[in-house]
Amino acid sequence: MAKVTVLGTGMVGASFAYRLLNSGLASEMLLVDANHMRAEGEMMDLNHAMPFEHPCQVEVGDYADIKGSEVVVISAGAAQRPGETRLDLVQRNAAIFRDMIPQVAKAAPEAIMVIATNPVDIMTQAAIKYSEFAPERVVGSGTILDTARFRYLLGEYYGVDPRSVHAYIIGEHGDSEVPAFSCASIAGVPLADVAKQLGKEYDLNDMEDIFQQVRTAAYEIINRKGSTYYAIASGLLRVTEAILRDQSTAFSVSNVMTGQYGIKDVCLSLPMVVSRKGITATLTLPLNEKELEGFRHSAQVLGELAAKTL
């Protein structure tokens, strides 16, 4: 049984902690937050769920207590306010990571870090740099949430369970993200053919509308309820499960490019295989020209920001 640290127990961290308790994956859970009282409140609330849940030792602590954690899930830092982009958070959260990450790496040199703090691609690159971990041991949550939104909406459109939809959002987790429509399928059948087989039209305007809903989902939710947390918490739980259970699952997580489509030294999302060792493989999709151009644009946006910030 595993020890998992939740670093940052705001809306995302607390939602993840609750999913982790429900899952029974961890025997020990450490909550760390600059706001100690908030972490304590979450611990108390989680402990009171214990008679209904799996046994788990939940504690609140400091960086040194992270020792022995197999996975450290990081969602500490500022979140978007209405009208802000993810990239607007970069200075505030880079400063937090500069201070926080070396302390995490010192306390738990064997851990796998999973990063959710935005802008997540830059924060993943920051975590790799400031921890001096091998890049594969730092898993950025990247576009897992965008991919989930994409699959959900395509599933609704075609009337199929989203778990039978194979489709990825790649590139930046943010405004320049790219829908890989040309590689999307339902049960291996390309979307245009699926439409025919299901007696529907393959309408490019509808597909564009679905992508716009994916791209603007965070803004729409933040305008309505302040922040987004349940879906990312479920995604973080799946990534944590893939690590702890050594499942070699493909997720669109973020890590440093090493020559994919000629791109290097910038963190972006592509489908990557996640196991007990972290990221063990990065897969390239057979993209069309427009998608490739979009992916290169994401690389340029993030590369420039990383160079200015880190």
Position among 33, 42, 172, 177 found at the interface with ligand NAD (CB under 6 A): 33
Integer Cα distance of 48 and 37 in angstroms: 17
CB 65 within 8 A of CB 59: yes
- Does 173 qualify as catalytic in the annotation? yes
Question: Please, which residues have CB within 8 angstroms of residue 207's CB and are 6 or more apart in sequence?
Answer: 179, 181, 191
Q: Is 147 annotated as a binding residue?
A: yes
Q: Is 262 annotated as a binding residue?
A: no
Position among 4, 6, 11, 72 found at the interface with ligand NAD (CB under 6 A): 11
Is 210 or 232 the residue whose CB approaches ligand NAD more closely? 232
CB 235 within 8 A of CB 169: no
CB of 246 to ligand NAD, least distance (A): 23
Integer Cα distance of 140 and 255 in angstroms: 6
Site string for ligand NAD, 226-245 (x = CB under 6 A): -xxx--x-------------
Q: Is 111 annotated as a binding residue?
A: no
Integer Cα distance of 106 and 226 in angstroms: 34
Integer Cα distance of 159 and 153 in angstroms: 10
Is 116 or 183 the residue whose CB approaches ligand NAD more closely? 116
Question: Please, which residues have CB within 8 angstroms of residue 199's CB and are 6 or more apart in sequence?
Answer: none
User: Angle at the Cα of 86 (from 206 to 290), degrees rounded to 5?
Assistant: 40
Position among 43, 72, 113, 117 found at the interface with ligand NAD (CB under 6 A): 117
CB count in 10 Å sphere of residue 154: 26
CB of 279 to ligand NAD, least distance (A): 16
CA atoms within 13 A on the CB side of 201: 4
Position among 5, 9, 176, 282 found at the interface with ligand NAD (CB under 6 A): 9
Site string for ligand NAD, 37-76 (x = CB under 6 A): -x------------------------------------xx
Tell me which of 36, 48, 54, 173 is the catalytic residue.
Answer: 173
Site string for ligand NAD, 166-205 (x = CB under 6 A): -------x--------------------------------
Position among 3, 13, 191, 244 found at the interface with ligand NAD (CB under 6 A): 13
Site string for ligand NAD, 248-287 (x = CB under 6 A): ----------------------------------------
Position among 96, 112, 165, 207 found at the interface with ligand NAD (CB under 6 A): 96
139 to 158, contacts with ligand NAD by CB under 6 A? 141, 145
The residues assigned a catalytic role are 173
Q: Where on the chain is the footprint of ligand NAD (CB under 6 A)?
A: 8-13, 33-35, 38, 75-80, 89, 96, 100, 116-118, 120, 141, 145, 173, 227-229, 232
